[in-house]
Amino acid sequence: MVKSSLIELLKTFSDEEWKSFSLFLQSPYFNRSKSVQQFFTYLSGFRPELDSPKMDKEKAFAAVYGKQVAYAESKFSDLMYKMKGLAEAFLAHNELKSRPGLQEQQLAYLLSRRTGVYAHFNKATQKAIRQTKLQPESMEKHWALLWLNHLAHHHPERATTFESTLKELWTAMAELDQLYLYAKFRYSTELLARKNILKEEPDILLLDACFEAMGQGFQGHPLLEMHYHLARLNGIKESHEAYQEVKERLLPNLNRMGPIEKQSALLNLLNYVIRKANTGEPYWRMELFDWYKLALEEGLLHSDGTLQEPIFLNIAITAAILKRFEFAWKFILDYQQSLSPEVREQATSYCRAYLLVHEGRYDEANDLLIKETYSSQVYKTRRHSLLIRCQYEFTLEHESYEGILQASCKKFRRYLTNECQWAEEKKRSYFNWIDMVETLHACRNEKKTGIEYQEELKSLLEQRKPIFLKEWLLEKIASLDTPVSNTPSSRRI
């Protein structure tokens, strides 16, 4: 019973909705079954989780029909079916009552099909239009405004002549334009964004004509303009101007957007910024951090209550790189339970190690990485690279760690060659990185640390493509002339 579709639906009810549902079930207009009301009373004892092992079919049946009645599966299934239908009817009724304009729209649609009530229809339609304009921005809103104005102009009892006002018809046309362009740009944005992954250029009918209409000064609402620039952003390479246009329209209008519209816009923009941040430019990494914070505040990154592992990693890693350490530690603590159980331990352990490395706490990071056993290829690869970074830092303290660093580099190479299933280009980026780490260490050992050697290393780095962690390598090249301590260390590895 706990895993039934009825219980899954009832788990989504807020406290206020549960109270209203109780009143709904007590109304003879909606429900005349005392058994359903008694079933509701039984379920109320297990709110809000509705997942107690004590909540089972036999006990629920006895609570509804009495202990003297033998349990009947078909009878209980029928009760569950009735309750689910009433729960769905309640949600629809509640939405109709609570959303501005929705009840008024339905009344206008209904009256448009009845004869002899034109005055009543006209009044209801104008009220519906006023209320619908108060709704958050969405395609649904413009469809409703289009259809209400269509009905107002084409009502069969409306007295029309060629001299009659065309106000409703022009308004319907304007809403059609808004709706069409809004939908075209929104869907095109998602298709164009995928071309960067699938390497396919989508053939989108009339998209150029839509771009041209906006370019000629079509006056749309701010969110239409935002989707226009989002489509430009994904369709025109390196359009920083389009990015700024999107940002200027999105941030002030978040509260005007419905939840689906808000999530779609934010995630599309976020994906663009992730691609830019992957180039290593500090500006884009800071932008990415700010967008992640906003998306977390708006609750837009969870799917069915779960935070996806790549998003969790990206947020923690981005914060660590930007040295937002307090935020990063708090984020890991606050959101680790949002990860699915099968990845939680590895993801949080790796993020802690990564954060320790960026805080310069290499001993702690090294100890954590050695103790942890990772099962996935992703974490095994990242573990190798983090250990090498820690051990490179140890060689800066004392030359006695040289052998340990060399052994770790060889071990990483063997893993990439024999065990790892990455694509060849990705493997090559890691091999190039290992080569550069060894070259850096050799230069330091041979005292080749002057400006001329740093320039040679930068030139060599530019030739090594693709390459992993280029920013880190540039940082180590710049600090090549830092002297190595000759004082023996007591560090245990």
What tens digit of pLDDT does each residue of 374-418 get?
A: 888 999 999 999 999 999 999 988 778 889 999 999 999 999 998
pLDDT digits (tens, 9 = 90+) for 425-480: 999 999 999 999 999 999 888 887 788 888 999 999 999 999 999 989 999 998 88
Six-digit token string for 419: 């065990």
Assign 340 to helix, strand or coil: coil
Question: What is the chain's length?
Answer: 493
Give residue 318's pLDDT band: very low, low, confident or very high (50, 70, 90).
very high
Q: For residue 436, how many other CB atoms are within 10 A of its CB? A: 22
Mean pLDDT over 117-132 rounds to 95
Q: CA-to-CA distance for 444 and 432, rounded, in angstroms? A: 18
With 90 as the cut, is the pLDDT of residue 34 above it?
yes
Q: Is the peptide bond before 341 cis (omega within 30 degrees of 0)?
A: no
* Residue 160: per-residue pLDDT: 62
Query: Phi then psi for 67, rounded to 5 degrees?
Result: -70, -20
* Residue 483: per-residue pLDDT: 62
* Residue 488: per-residue pLDDT: 46
* Residue 490: per-residue pLDDT: 47
Q: What is the CB-side half-sphere exposure of residue 205 using CA atoms within 13 A?
A: 1
Give residue 492's pLDDT band: very low, low, confident or very high (50, 70, 90).
very low
**Which ranges constitute the DSSP H helices of 298-422?**
309-321, 325-335, 341-358, 362-371, 377-397, 402-418
Q: CA-to-CA distance for 141 and 123, rounded, in angstroms? A: 19
Question: Which of 188-197, 286-295, 399-408 shows the lowest mean pLDDT across its residues?
Answer: 188-197
* Residue 126: per-residue pLDDT: 95
With 60 as the cut, is the pLDDT of residue 256 above it?
yes
Q: CA-to-CA distance for 335 and 317, rounded, in angstroms? A: 14
* Rounded CA Rg of the chain: 31
Highest mean pLDDT of the ranges 142-146, 153-157, 246-250, 483-487: 142-146
Average model confidence (pLDDT) across the chain: 90
Cβ atoms of residues 398 and 485 within 8 Å: yes
Give residue 161's pLDDT band: very low, low, confident or very high (50, 70, 90).
low
With 70 as the cut, is the pLDDT of residue 177 above it?
yes
* Residue 200: per-residue pLDDT: 67
CA 388 centroid distance within chain: 32
With 80 as the cut, is the pLDDT of residue 250 above it?
yes
Amino acid at 114: R
Residue 479 or residue 492, greater confidence: 479
Give residue 255's pLDDT band: very low, low, confident or very high (50, 70, 90).
confident
* Residue 199: per-residue pLDDT: 61
Assign 372 to helix, strand or coil: coil
* Residue 172: per-residue pLDDT: 95
Global pTM value? 0.76
Closest residue by Cα to residue 349 from 363, 359, 360, 364: 364
* Residue 235: per-residue pLDDT: 80
Q: For residue 251, how many other CB atoms are within 10 A of its CB? A: 10
Q: CA-to-CA distance for 285 and 279, rounded, in angstroms? A: 9
With 70 as the cut, is the pLDDT of residue 484 above it?
no
With 90 as the cut, is the pLDDT of residue 339 above it?
yes
Secondary structure element (H or E) that encloses residue 177, with its range: helix 167-198
With 70 as the cut, is the pLDDT of residue 225 above it?
yes
Six-digit token string for 353: 């190690």
Give residue 489's pLDDT band: very low, low, confident or very high (50, 70, 90).
very low
Looking at residue 302, what DSSP letter applies? E
Closest residue by Cα to residue 362 from 390, 322, 337: 390
Long-range contacts of 260-267 (CB under 8 A, 24+ apart): 260/138, 261/136, 261/137, 261/138, 261/139, 261/223, 262/298, 262/300, 263/300, 264/186, 264/190, 265/223, 265/226, 265/227, 265/230, 266/291, 266/294, 266/295, 266/298, 266/300, 267/295, 267/300
* Residue 153: per-residue pLDDT: 93
